Amino acid sequence: MEMYIAPNNTRLASQYPSSSYLPEEDDTDDGSTLTIPYSYSVYFREDESIEWSKRWDLYFNNQEDSNVIHWLAIVNSFVICTLLTVIVVMVINRTYRQVHGKDGSGDDAKLLLKRRKPMSGTKSPRSREKAPAGLLQQEGEAERNDDFESDEEYIEDISGWKLLHGDVFRAPQYAAYLAPLIGSGMQLVFMATGLLILSCIGILNPSFRGGFVSVGMGLFIFAGVVSGYFSSRLYKTFGGTHWRSNTLMTALLFPGLLFTTIFILNLFVWAQASSTALPFGTLVGLIALMLLIQLPLVYMGSWYGFHQSQPYEHPTKTASAPRPIPEQAWYTQGIYPGLIAGFVPFAVVFIELLFVFRSLWQDKSGYYYVFGFLSIVSLVGIFTVVEVTIVATYIMLCQENHHWWWQSVFIGGGSSFWIFCYCVVFYYTKLKITGFVSALLFFSYSFLACCVYGLLTGTVGFLTAYAFVRRVYGAIKVD
């Protein structure tokens, strides 16, 4: 370090009038330097009062104060989930009464495809009260009118979702893409479940540097067997025959898009010469894991699911011609069902999301640690996704809309849209990030995380809707 102090001659004459020497002003640099060495020492003192399990509490500020907010988040989640549970019970009870009748005998569950015609007589009013017989009306005509009235009430009873028994299990459009996405979603479900369990029991902790990402990648790779099995069996249910193409798409579609996006973002980090950039060897290792380990595991699961397993059985047969869909309400068209239904799971988890964002972007530890609270909120959130999907699917079927396959995925993953909006709000209100590359990385990685979350919850929504539809239509009898 160099230091130069110039002489101050401006007030010397006035301050020291009796001085016999005053230095002359000289602006020339004689090249003189002064080196001042700086050094420091570190002393480590062991504190025996701190337990080993609480060694990271120094970095987790306001832990006691945040526990209250965590419990409030859990209470908020349970309140919303309880309200949804009441709605789901009402839906199931109404469906049961429509299928089995008021007395539960099951006689009303039999559907007649053709409306019976009255033998003779005029049409009676559509009223449950019997009209009084006139003087000129014969007894037989009154009985035939009563039969006609009961037929009309019976036709009204089978309207709505029961009319879709011949189309509800029709293979959806773009089924070749739906099956691989559901398979990749099962991988994510397996990975997320494993990470939460390992974090709750203490295996994954802040002292295990990089363990969360490494273990998550390992779980995702080895869950390729599960992905291939569910994807191929669903593909076989849709009537597909090219199971090898489905295997390649399952193994490469979602992981390939994810890796390509990360590689492109990593180029921007390389351009900034940042130490956080992934080394080239790490990227090559990820490609090797995907091609040499995950692809064979997906192939094994696909072979077993397609050749050794039967397709999922459907309780009703699919008609040869698709049934026309009547005009739908605006909230059952396009992306509106997913956006409306997705707001409810977001309301369950948004308080806990605030702690996750603060831990990742604001705290000096950069690590989220309260996995017990996160597990409870996650379970309640998944249960909320299940209930919302059941209600939304039932409303769609009552509107005589049998295109529920893709809609169930969008409804289950609809909360990811609101989470991304929450990321945008958090960026502009809480963070002070400057620079184009930094902002690009924040929004890009937030978008990738929301896509992963959306596919996970979308898979849960699809499995829920599939089980609900099979259960409901399995309870009716069709002639």
pLDDT tens digit sequence for 184-235: 999 999 999 999 888 888 787 766 667 788 899 999 999 999 999 999 999 9
Contact between 354 and 425 under an 8 Å Cβ cutoff? The reply is: no
Contact between 414 and 389 under an 8 Å Cβ cutoff? The reply is: no
CA distance readout (Å), 5 to 2, 24, 27, 29, 32: 10, 15, 11, 11, 10
CA 237, CA 475: separation in Å to the nearest integer? 21
Predicted TM-score (pTM) of this structure: 0.76
DSSP 345-403: HHHHHHHHHHHHHHHHHTSSS-----HHHHHHHHHHHHHHHHHHHHHHHHHHHHTT---
Helix 295-307 to helix 243-271 angle, to the nearest 10 degrees? 160
- Residue 23 is predicted with a pLDDT of 62
**H-state helical runs in 272-370:** 280-289, 295-307, 336-361
pLDDT, tens only, 405-461: 999 999 999 999 999 999 999 999 988 888 888 899 999 999 999 999 999 999 999
Identify the helix (H) or strand (E) that includes residue 477.
strand 477-478
Q: What is the DSSP letter of 110?
A: E
Q: Which of 476, 453, 329, 462 is nearest to 393 (CA)?
A: 462
Contact between 160 and 431 under an 8 Å Cβ cutoff? The reply is: no
pLDDT, tens only, 224-273: 999 999 999 999 999 989 999 999 999 999 999 999 999 999 999 888 87
Cβ neighbors of 219 (< 8 A, separation 6 or more) are: 190, 191, 194, 195
Angle at 369 between CA 212 and CA 254, to 5 degrees: 35
Contact between 246 and 232 under an 8 Å Cβ cutoff? The reply is: yes
Angle at 63 between CA 60 and CA 69, to 5 degrees: 130
CA 364, CA 60: separation in Å to the nearest integer? 9
Q: Could you tell me how many residues make up the chain?
A: 479
CA 412, CA 78: separation in Å to the nearest integer? 19
pLDDT, tens only, 301-350: 999 999 999 999 998 888 888 888 888 888 888 888 999 999 999 988 88
- Residue 7 is predicted with a pLDDT of 58
Most confident of 225-234, 276-285, 354-363: 225-234
